[in-house]
A = this chain, B = another copy of it.
Amino acid sequence: MIDQKQCEIDIEKVENTKIHDVDFDKLDFGRKFTDHMFYCDFIDDEWQQPKIVPYQAMTIEPSARVLHYGQAVFEGMKAYKDTDGNAFLFRPEDNHRRINISAARLAIPEFPKDYFMKGLTTLIEMDKDWIKSGDGNSLYIRPFVFAIEPAISAAPAEAYRFMIICSPAKAYYTDKVRVIFAEEYSRSANGGVGFAKAAGNYAAQFYPTRLAQQKGYQQVIWTDANTHEYLEEAGTMNIFFRINDTLVTAPISDRILDGITRKSIIQLAEDNNIPVEVRRVKVSEIKEASRNGSLKEIFGTGTAAVISAISAFEHGNEVFEIPDMENAYADLLKKKLVNIQQNQSVDKYGWRYEIK
């Protein structure tokens, strides 16, 4: 689909693959990387020759703006392999669109679509052996861009590096998770950068998340910074509530990431006759629904975990347990989505993107 002449990538292959050193049954998320990486520098007002080289450390100036001002955005996506060994991406153009939305908010130049798609597909084609078929296996793909200009005045950089690195992954969260609804800390402000996959949004969550973990919860569900009355999203997942038979999820806003899994799940739910309401969700409503038994499920959606079921939440020092349920929407919708991603079912949406 991509015009070869539009963008030639300079390729340097590894002499020996590292794949035999990796135990694919024991993968700690995001610590092992494939043989190659893609990069492309923005210098003198334009993106330079894109390159694929052996995965390696790089040099950076101590004054590189990213280290001081967090001028960096990223994406997260996955490649899957079917049982015949064909490799697929999932809605990759949406990741391209979103990284440029994030970039614009951080005054980072947009990355051209043909560079993105060709870099991505060429890299994955080269490192295809790192994608294992089978349930939960995938290749996690991390496109990111950061300011490399060596200058510490507080202003947007004039030089950037765009990269793609890939890490083989097993299922991310396997067990159900216990969460805490935020009452004091917050993730993003109106008019802020919450809707962007801006690097700084994530570091800002580490400390409150650690506090939650010390209390026995794996994650924080963020509420609006202003009143803490409305549920927004988790650190790397959008959130759905099943009340009786209806799924409810918060609308996207300038505080909430427009998740690709979220919108796919909304579509799949609607097409499977599950009513979906996209509206603001009050903490008090969810507590009340839990008390009166109408809260059937809570789950998060995101590329890393696909769907992650939540078994309990804490708010106001009260713990609300969510009983397991037969025919959970989380299971049904996850299966539908994973089947499309892994080429186990017809994809009437055109979401699957074969790499060849």
Please give the residue numbers on chain A whose beta carbons come within 8 Å of chain B beta carbons, in ascending order. 28-31, 33, 37, 55-63, 66-72, 74, 104-107, 140, 142, 144, 146-147, 150-156, 163, 165, 167, 182, 184-193, 198-207, 209-210, 225-226, 228, 235-236
Contacts and interface: CB of A to CB of B under 8 A. Distances in A.
29 contacts: A30-B151, A30-B152, A55-B62, A56-B62, A57-B59, A57-B61, A58-B60, A59-B59, A66-B67, A68-B72, A68-B144, A69-B202, A72-B203, A105-B207, A106-B204, A106-B206, A107-B206, A107-B207, A140-B152, A156-B210, A185-B191, A186-B189, A186-B191, A187-B192, A188-B192, A189-B225, A200-B201, A200-B203, A200-B204
A119 to B, nearest CB: 14
Contacts of A201: 70, 200
Assembly stoichiometry (copies):
2
Contact of A146 (B67, B153, B185, B204): B67
Of all A-B residue pairs in the complex, the 5 with the closest CB atoms, nearest first, are A200-B200, A70-B199, A189-B189, A70-B200, A189-B225
A228 B189 CA distance: 12
Contact of A198 (B105, B200, B235): B200
A57 B62 contact: yes
A210 B151 contact: no
A291 B207 CA distance: 45
A153 to B, nearest CB: 4
B37 A206 contact: no
Contacts of A63: 30-31, 33, 142, 165, 167
A225 B140 CA distance: 35
